[in-house]
Amino acid sequence: MKNYELLAIFKPSLDSEELDKVVDKISEEVKSYKGSVSSVDKIGRKKLAYDVQGYRDGYFTTMILSIPGESVVDFKRNLKLNENLLRFMFMEEAKKAQAV
């Protein structure tokens, strides 16, 4: 299993309790694919550079997760179907550079 980082921007109309529920739902989805979530960082509400679906700001969250490679396509498809997500970026976690 590879480690991935998920940067997600949620709708600003969500309150903190609803945001927690949506993040927990995504974590449960990762577990359903036999993966695991190692960390969740709720960055907070930030202004967007341009309007996204009519919103000027959004809640930013980053998650570090491990998921089998064959489940990545299905996981990304389910993220696109999440109506509370404005945008997301799903990428393989970079390895740290070693000093020579």
**Residue 74 belongs to some domain of the structure:** yes
DSSP-assigned letter for residue 71: G
CB 74 within 8 Å of CB 34? no
Residue 98 dihedral angles phi and psi, to the nearest 5°: -105, 140
**Residue 75 belongs to some domain of the structure:** yes
For residue 2, the model assigns a pLDDT of 87
Indicate the pTM of the whole model: 0.86
CB 31 within 8 Å of CB 8? no
**Residue 19 belongs to some domain of the structure:** yes
For residue 97, the model assigns a pLDDT of 63
**Residue 85 reports pLDDT greater than 80:** yes
For residue 69, the model assigns a pLDDT of 87
Containing domain of residue 80, as a range?
2-92
Element (H, E) at 38: strand 36-52
For residue 35, the model assigns a pLDDT of 92
Q: Report the CATH number that the domain containing residue 6 is assigned in CATH.
A: 3.30.70.60
CB 67 within 8 Å of CB 75? yes
**Residue 99 belongs to some domain of the structure:** no
For residue 58, the model assigns a pLDDT of 94
For residue 80, the model assigns a pLDDT of 94
CB 62 within 8 Å of CB 43? yes
Work out how many domains the chain is built from and give that number: 1
**Residue 16 belongs to some domain of the structure:** yes
